[in-house]
């Protein structure tokens, strides 16, 4: 479904943004100005490269889903793993962005429908947006919500610059873990998983194929895929700065978050209403509520398309879309009964793990095509270390002693890198033999 480039950009931006550049940035700001460094470097050298290349490879492969593209470059075994892993991640995303906004709306309306009433309303919207063609609902609503999210970020930026706020500086002595419990939440790797969508996120690789099917010409790929990620990084920077400045400093942010159950939704609501006034309240509804909902619906949409790709199941008739969609919604609804914090933590780790696999796939593509592969190899190695160390340290993981986790994480990273190079050597040899034959 060809769409105007500006509309594709805004849909892509809203698809990938969700709660990430707001909630993730606020939670990441609790570590201090180190968050600024990760957002900038992560966005430019990891996230934007990841989003651009995954989107363009999908476009070059007739709009294939990311799991199928992984199969092309990393083989059938990893493709089967990625099919399952990606669908599970998307269901996590849909669940997180079902309960999260429902909690926010319930708080804003003083329990008018109750939490489960709003969950039902959002779920009904998800059903419609997942089943209807992209030009019927998504292409009409998303540009409005995307613009609202950008205006909210611009408003916060202007208030920070011209208001009586002091943003902590990015100087060497501030590049330390400023959380109130630094021993329990080490800067590495926790920060690099906490701030995901504002720096790099595997979820984006599931969304880029949706927009690759809507581009009129591949020359617009850089402005859409790379541009949307850089825009999201800027939004994350603004929210991280606002969180540190609004509560006076990083210590004040940590203190207030602790008093309110580390609820990033509360902090986002306080910041937008107090820094932007009544106008901020309207933008808060559109930005803080609509953004996660519009990521949740495209998560289910992506899951439906991936499952249809796997089984080669035609999706032209709405009844056939229902056959795939309804089980996905049923699973997500069951998951809403689990503690939201647990679902969020597993989503965060699996999200970064997916990004890591995609980076390795992109590296394989660049090597085989004799292109500049280090632009993805370096972030692939770094993110492998992040994900392996995180699952060893984290409460939902193996809860290992930190030094041991770092050593084992380095060993895992080395082994994965070695296996990758052996695979590439084998694939290049096979390609050479085939070419010679």
What are the tens digits of pLDDT across the range 371-390?
999 999 999 999 999 999 99
Tokens 């590495």 locate to: 188
Residues 28, 240: Cα–Cα separation, whole Å: 7
Residues 257, 266: Cα–Cα separation, whole Å: 9
- What global pTM score does this model have? 0.88
Residue 100: CB partners within 8 Å, gap ≥ 6? 19, 23, 265, 292, 340
Contact between 224 and 15 under an 8 Å Cβ cutoff? The reply is no
Residues of the chain where predicted confidence (pLDDT) is lower than 70 = 18-19, 134-139, 279-288, 338-345, 432, 434-437
Which domains can be identified in the chain, with CATH numbers?
Answer: 5-340 (1.20.1740.10)
By C-alpha distance, which of 239, 251, 253 is closest to 291? 239
By C-alpha distance, which of 49, 15, 19, 42 is closest to 239? 19
Rg (C-alpha) for the chain, rounded Å, is: 21
Residue 83: CB atoms within 10 Å: 20
What pLDDT is recorded for position 69? 93
Residues 292, 173: Cα–Cα separation, whole Å: 35
Residues 188, 234: Cα–Cα separation, whole Å: 22
What are the tens digits of pLDDT across the range 152-185?
888 889 999 998 899 999 888 889 999 988 888 8
By C-alpha distance, which of 156, 212, 202 is closest to 29? 156
| SS3 at position 170 | coil
DSSP structural state of residue 202 = T
What pLDDT is recorded for position 397? 81
Backbone φ and ψ for 210, nearest 5 degrees, come out as -60, -45
What pLDDT is recorded for position 277? 79
What pLDDT is recorded for position 332? 80
Which ranges constitute the DSSP H helices of 285-317?
A: 290-311
By C-alpha distance, which of 342, 272, 267, 330 is closest to 303? 330
What pLDDT is recorded for position 120? 84
By C-alpha distance, which of 362, 391, 389 is closest to 377? 362
What pLDDT is recorded for position 366? 96
Which ranges constitute the DSSP H helices of 163-249?
A: 187-194, 203-212, 221, 227-246
The CA-based angle 213-326-303, given to 5 degrees, is 35
Residue 425 to residues 365, 431, 433, Cα–Cα distance (Å):
13, 10, 12
Sign of the torsion formed by the C-alpha atoms of 58, 97, 191 and 229 = positive
Percent of the chain with pLDDT over 90: 42
């Amino acid at each position: 479904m060809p769409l105007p480039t500006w509309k594709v950009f805004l849909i892509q931006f809203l698809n990938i943004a969700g709660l990430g550049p707001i909630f993730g940035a606020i939670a990441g700001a609790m570590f201090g100005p180190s968050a600024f460094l990760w957002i900038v470097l992560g966005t430019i050298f990891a996230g934007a490269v990841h989003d651009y290349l995954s989107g363009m490879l999908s476009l070059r492969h007739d709009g294939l889903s990311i799991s199928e593209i992984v199969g092309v470059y990393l083989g059938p075994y990893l493709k089967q793993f990625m099919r399952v892993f990606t669908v599970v991640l998307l269901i996590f995303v849909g669940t997180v962005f079902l309960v999260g906004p429902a909690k926010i709306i319930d708080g804003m309306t003083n329990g008018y429908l109750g939490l489960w009433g709003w969950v039902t309303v959002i779920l009904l919207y998800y059903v419609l947006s997942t089943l209807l063609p992209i030009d019927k609902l998504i292409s009409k609503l998303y540009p409005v919500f995307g613009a609202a999210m950008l205006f909210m970020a611009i408003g916060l930026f202007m208030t920070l610059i011209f208001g009586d706020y002091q943003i902590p500086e990015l100087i060497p002595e501030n590049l330390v873990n400023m959380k109130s419990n630094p021993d329990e939440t080490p800067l590495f790797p926790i920060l690099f998983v906490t701030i995901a969508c504002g720096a790099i996120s595997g979820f984006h690789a599931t969304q880029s194929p949706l927009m690759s099917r809507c581009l009129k010409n591949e020359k617009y790929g850089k402005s859409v895929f790379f541009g949307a990620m850089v825009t999201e990084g800027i939004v994350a920077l603004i929210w991280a700065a606002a969180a540190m400045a609004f509560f006076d400093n990083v210590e004040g942010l940590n203190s207030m978050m602790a008093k309110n159950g580390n609820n990033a939704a509360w902090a986002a609501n306080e910041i937008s209403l107090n820094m932007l006034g009544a106008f901020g309240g309207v933008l808060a509804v559109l930005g803080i509520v609509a953004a996660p909902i519009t990521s949740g619906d495209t998560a289910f949409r992506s899951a439906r398309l991936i499952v249809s790709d796997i089984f080669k199941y035609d999706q032209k008739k709405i009844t056939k879309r229902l056959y795939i969609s309804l089980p996905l919604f049923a699973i997500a609804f069951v998951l809403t009964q689990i503690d939201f914090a647990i679902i969020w933590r597993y989503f965060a780790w699996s999200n970064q793990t997916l990004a890591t696999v995609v980076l390795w796939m992109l590296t394989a593509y660049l090597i085989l095509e004799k292109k500049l592969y280090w632009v993805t190899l370096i972030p692939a190695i770094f993110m492998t270390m992040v994900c392996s160390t995180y699952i060893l340290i984290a409460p939902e993981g193996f809860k290992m002693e930190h030094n041991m986790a770092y050593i084992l994480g380095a060993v895992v990273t080395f082994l994965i890198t070695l296996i990758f190079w052996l695979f590439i050597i084998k694939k290049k040899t096979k390609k050479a033999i085939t070419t010679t034959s």
